Structures are given as C-alpha cells and as structure tokens.
A and B are shown apart, each in its own frame.
Chain A
Amino acid sequence: MNLRRDVFQAIADPTRRTILLLVAAQGMTAGAIAANFDTARPTVSKHLQILTECELLKQEQQGREVYYHINAKNMKQVADFIEPFRQMWEDRFNKLENIMKTYNQNNDGTKNKS
C-alpha cells in the first residue's frame, strides 16, 4: 500500500515543522539540520525524505554537499510565498492608520492646522 504523501502529512509531525522553520531561514545540509535535534540521524533523514516527497523541500547540490531548501516552485509562484509577509505589513499599516486617525481626532483642538 502506498503511503499518502501530502502537505498535511508533512506538517503533522513536530520535527518536520521545525525542519521547515529552520530551512525557511536558509538552505541547510542534512547534517546541519540533524544537529538541531536529539533524535538519531537516520530519523532526521527519514523526515527529510518525506518532506522532499511532499515537494515542500528540494535538494540542491553545492560542491560535495547537498543543501535542503524550501521548495518555492510548489507554491505556484513566488508571489504566493511572500503574500504572508505582505499581509503582515498590511495588517500593521492598517493598524497604524486607524491609531493615527483616532490620535488626530483627539488632538484636533490643540494642534489643528488651518
């Protein structure tokens, strides 16, 4: 029987979520990733294999080392990938605008420029 390999399976495990967080910051070798865990190296390798099969990670050969990266291609386009970052700033700036509109009303009498 074939094991289902999908995104939900990939993120169902806390170790795999941590691996995604680590690799999201920068490409890493299997050894560097394994150094973050107490678990045995083959266990980490198994997690990397599952994440790669789910196409959340991709491997890249750099000289003699293989680096794991977040697979941006699986996100259809880069714009999807940076959307949460854009949304974070959208939320912050919306808040800023609302706060300052209130601030302006409260200070209208004292520093109204005509």
Chain B
Amino acid sequence: MEQKTKVNAEDGKQDLLITREFDLPVELLFKAYTEADIVEQWMGTKVIKLEGKTHGSYRFETSDANGNIVFSANGVIHEFTPNTRIKRTFEMENAPFGVQLEVCEFEKLTEGTSKITIHTIYESAAQRNGVLKLPFAMGINMAHSRLQDVMNKLNKQL
C-alpha cells in the first residue's frame, strides 16, 4: 500500500513536520480532530476532556486491560479556527519529553480531498529525538516478546 504519511525530521533540529493527504473533505478531516468520540477511535486513547475553542484545553488517558494508566497527555489550545488551523500544546504526563507546540494546518485540496500539515516544535533536539525513537524502542520490546513466545513454544516441544 502507498505510504501517504510523510515525516520530515532534519538532523540536529528541534522540530518535525508531518504531512498527509486524505480522501475527505476538509470539514470531515477537521471534525475528526474535534469530536471526542471520533478522536478516541483513531488515536486509540480515552478522551477525558476536549474543548474545541481558542483557550480551551484537552486531556487524553489510556489504560491497559487491568485498568492501569499507561499513557496520559494534556495541552491547551491557543487557536481554534474551524477547517483551517489548530495551535495547541501537547505534553505527555510522567514522561521526559517536555512540552511541545503543535501547529496543525487543515487545507482544502478539492471538494473531496484535503491535507493536514502538523508542525511540531520541541524544547530541544534531544527531546524531539526521544519522541521519534519511542515507537522504535517499543518495537524492540514487542519484537522481543514475540521472540520470547516462539522460544517458549520451542522449549515446550523439546
């Protein structure tokens, strides 16, 4: 499948750019960012609070099967211009990544297509790289769990 999402992270810089085009009218793309129950579905997190307005705030929380909170994040909205722009901060709680500034630009391409450009600025290049590497590090953990499963099965057979 074609890779539609692009991530541009220049070496030594403290920001990154995510772009993606959608087969959706810009109004629907924007709605996916502002309706709590829709955000929950595609972000895979519980939305505790989401105020879609300038000077509003939001908070996400994800729990595992046992009810332990494994991820929580919050931020405030600096600008909320429907179908055009959301400027907001984002901070993971209990994590060493500091606070980041996100400027999300929503753009109409045609009646049925649109584009999002997310410019994220971190406190430092090191913090940006930490966030970038997080899914990689998680991947190592998951790859090992799978390896462990295979080894366990082999051990039982021996």
Residue B140 lies at the interface, judged by CB distance under 8 Å to chain A: yes
Which residues of chain A have C-beta atoms less than 8 A from B38's C-beta? 99-100, 103
Interface SS of chain A: helix
**Contact assessment for B24 and A101 in the assembled complex, using a CB-CB cutoff below 8 Å:** yes
Chain A interface size band reads 20 to 34
Which residues of chain B have C-beta atoms less than 8 A from A12's C-beta? 144, 147
Of B28-36, B48-56, B83-91, the one contacting chain A is B28-36
**Which of A12, A25, A94, A104 has the most chain B CB atoms closer than 10 A to its own CB?**
A25
Interface SS of chain B: helix
Assembled-state Cα–Cα distance A70/B136 (Å): 11
With A26-B127, A89-B18 as given contacts, are A100 and B29 in contact (CB-CB < 8 Å)?
yes
5 smallest A-B Cβ distances: which pairs?
A: A24-B137, A84-B135, A25-B130, A96-B42, A95-B42
- A residues near B, CB below 8 A? 8, 11-12, 17, 20-21, 24-27, 70, 78, 81-90, 92-97, 99-101, 103-104
A-B contacts, 29 of them at CB < 8 A, read: A8-B147, A11-B140, A11-B143, A11-B144, A11-B147, A12-B144, A12-B147, A17-B140, A20-B137, A21-B138, A25-B95, A26-B130, A70-B133, A78-B11, A81-B136, A82-B132, A82-B136, A84-B139, A85-B7, A85-B132, A85-B134, A85-B135, A89-B7, A92-B44, A93-B20, A95-B41, A95-B42, A96-B42, A103-B38
